[in-house]
Structure 1
């Protein structure tokens, strides 16, 4: 609720800014501001376009920047009513000369700075985050990535070493590993898929598994291995070179990295050219600001993949 209120306040400030700017225009809003734009309402002769309504929905976090908004939907009607209200409030504020108040001028200037800054960032990012750049960074990082061997295996976890030996004997007589896993395994995570662990590199496994599977060969039955909850018999299904993360899976992280990288580069250049003076000094012992938690430190394709990511592959 607080976020929505803040967004509405910003929307009103922007509407005020637009209203102020409009005072010098002679109804120059008859042409669509964007290709394919459609007029959906008029307030005292001023046109409201579908793009205005979508922008309000994005500002309130109700849709993403690139998501469509159906003009026949209830959400569109709600957002259009809010844009109309903003236009009316802005016009009345101008009539009362609130836009001449020094505090209002500062807030309008701040809103203008924010809008122009956001537009510059959007344009800068759109130039950087292209399909060509995404693929280029992905391919570059794949060349640099170090790949180790990965294993696909199945397991049956039982309570005691004696139980494991009994299962081993049954396997020796031709019993199905998958059926025995479903019937006897104590591991709830893998029991009902025939004990399948998927593909993994041994370094992400518990120590006992890592040691036992270090030089494993395809088709080998290993164990019993002492593990949490008992003893495991592990059958190696396949051994192969570690597979790269697919481009589609890496894309969101690459886009985020390119975005941060380009914005950081832009700000560094602007600060280098500008004369910036801090008029207050940091307090003694104050901590330096840290980057956002989701700010990528390096191109994601070059980073070690997590156990969760590996387990998702097959």
Structure 2
């Protein structure tokens, strides 16, 4: 991973902002650290954060670690898989929505309209379900069929994923994709997983990256927003 340094000389994103570190030629600003502290619930929105405080330095170290890990993930091209692209796009859309609320909605929409929108989002969240899935990705249908045969003989899914999966992003974690909602999954995954219970083996089916075999680890209700 690339080294980082304190300070920087890029253009500040906010008036009066201050560069506090540089990671892989990218500047970290005091506002970035404050935003992370707010996101973690360490300070309130609009509350000041002294850049000389222990809290600021601790959160700054966390932001630096995040930048380094993200840079390494990009170097390994972990961001190029269809699932990663869907997750990144979903995150981007949430951020843009938050920015709209911050800049426009709170000025132009009544409290009642905001409450109605929140109630609808809460209703949808209560009905949404997260699925934890493991993946074994093969180049060909024949390879995927062979995986099914090996699993049918009692081999552990995680062990087979580590040995045979071509998906470098998940291979060494036993194929673990973590929890996702169907709306951020590739459509082929969402269709294949529909109504499949925990413990079910799904596939093989064709995806953009090859032939997928999935195992449903768990299903749970998505945590509603607060």
Higher radius of gyration, 1 or 2: 1
Higher-strand-fraction structure: 2
TM-score normalized by structure 2? 0.48
